[in-house]
Structure 1
């Protein structure tokens, strides 16, 4: 993945540029954490990442919307058909769907494993069916669909540096980093998901900490060790981050900074959740904009990457 399929610096035509601008606007409005990271990329990579996000956002919005399950399934399958047209390069630049136009152009420029977006659709269909997860292995399969696949798609945009040591495992590390981000999301959104009738944490973990009755208010279930549950999942997420961070030395400076910034924001969310587990029951835990900007600057300067590298290498001794 060290090279793109087509010259990435080739200037897009006006209709394609307009399509990318639309996708960047969607990303800036709806994905603040993601947007902070991709600001660090050169324009052609930032545009491709925005196209990936806008398509993924469309899939997620179908799953989270108010349609009946049968209608959601129909919409998701129609989106899969659109993805097949994109895969075949059958979307004209004058098409009225700017997301399709932008993603089709990005797929021509970069070696995107578009099957990852099929996996995302599969994961959202799991949500539509109301699936629950008995074990971590069960939840991990879901997370690989909705987040690990996005990590692998992103790697298609980033590429790896020529001769990077261990590059044959880059996709594996990108996938694992996606799992870390998704598990952090699940912890952050416990209350919101419960209000929507969803529980993502594995049933055996919930039972182990006395939380099987679920989360129905701003306080933990009576008699539960909710803090113990959260700390257990935080440790699992940290282990995933440590493994996924092995991707960073394989990337160029700006792509590595982008990954370090996005992951750094989520690691700081984990820190906050760990300090006050009950906070996730009172509402969504988030970082202020100035702190996100600070993390982005650290990523671009390489400070976080060097810190992460020391932690990772230390863990292997």
Structure 2
């Protein structure tokens, strides 16, 4: 595989990321306890052993406890900070006394979120800050001002977005001096719209695609790192019970198993290698807290699917031949 677009900004970044959403325990007001920190230690060690040095957070994960648990790990092992990259996200606000669940890209909220993440993680700087979900009320010039200030203060090195399409990226980027370095989207064998949008151009079937035309090409052309959340498809193709799943899922899981045996790797590796085979150099973000599954995912870094096997998986997962 060629170099990740993100490597231009973070030299040495791993082609896979570890998503920390599962750390910190329940999504409630209970405190971070010792077993949560132990879990974080084990997940981090498994990720590093698998060749992963990029860790993805969000201020809302476990209501801040994911960052806090990870911060406890870094406090106990401070030398780790020099060998890893940290990304977090902000902009989602849950229902509270002030209002319903909402998105907030105001300068005040972005700054408060960054300060909170830095405190919970126990670090002075974030390598990447992403805006989590598009805010219909965003004012790009306001965002640009707070981004510039946070960078000047040494609190954030680079900025990105999550769950945005091409036109939103272009609109925001027009006000920024520095490039947006990443866009995190749900991509995987269970979410094929990012491929179908292009393959089904000028086809009636393509009207059902929920992926904005040109988004993939925009990111590739402008060096925006595509990151894939949900890329292990919640275990649909790697061993989860499939009693309640449609036939296309069962058939794809069977094919994943056959290819895993053929390539001599885990099922997780095949699912992730399928994403990595795309020339956009997609960076999968895996979220399992199971060290064995993290290790199994790491096997994807050592294989490259053939074009024919890539298409076998795509056609099987979409449930029908290409037009």
Q: TM-score band, normalised by the shorter chain?
A: 0.3 to 0.5
TM-score, normalised by the number of residues in structure 2: 0.32
TM-score, normalised by the number of residues in structure 1: 0.33
